[in-house]
Amino acid sequence: MSTQRNLLLVEDEGSDALLIKRALEKTGADFNLSRLKHGEEAIDYLSGVAPFDDRETHPLPDVILLDIKLPRRTGFEVLEWLRSQPAGLSRIPVVMLTSSGQAVDVNRAYDLHANGYLTKPDTAHALQEMLLDFKKYWLQWNEQPETRLEAD
């Protein structure tokens, strides 16, 4: 039995978001994709505050693809906030997907307990290949942690 997974993409650049969405669709769309445009919106979504308070419409993600350079709050700030939340929420896997391959950014992401770090490739074909592997690992093969916000 297959359960459809939920993927949250936090990406402010519309063209990058469109490329990522199309590349993911080409891998086979057996998951729900939600996109947010800035860090504050991501925190509101994960917190379940209006307009994201309906978890049927806005389910908690199984995995988050998070850019670093975001308006209002950076990806690092979102990740730091997420990891400070109660166990259910803080367990959501976060994979940074960014254009920065700088060691300082990679190290900071892992210091903040990112689960992975991917540098956006230069071509649409390379992006599709990367996201196919991402999808296989994170949305098919990986055992997902419990993320319900009830008492553990």
Which region among 1-5, 18-22, 115-119 has the lowest average model confidence (pLDDT)?
1-5
Mean pLDDT of the chain: 90
Distance CA 125, CA 72 (A): 31
Domain boundaries, the chain: 5-139
CATH 3.40.50.300, applies to 5-139: no
pLDDT tens for residues 23-57?
Answer: 888 887 678 899 999 999 999 999 999 999 999 99
pLDDT recorded at residue 145: 81
State if pTM tops 0.95. Answer: no
pLDDT recorded at residue 72: 92
- What's the token pair of residue 20? 């990522």
The order of strands in the sheet holding 63-66 is 31-36, 5-10, 63-66, 94-98, 116-119
Report whether pLDDT(150) > 60: no
Contact 40, 72 (CB under 8 A): yes
Per the model's pLDDT, the better-predicted residue between 3 and 4 turns out to be: 4
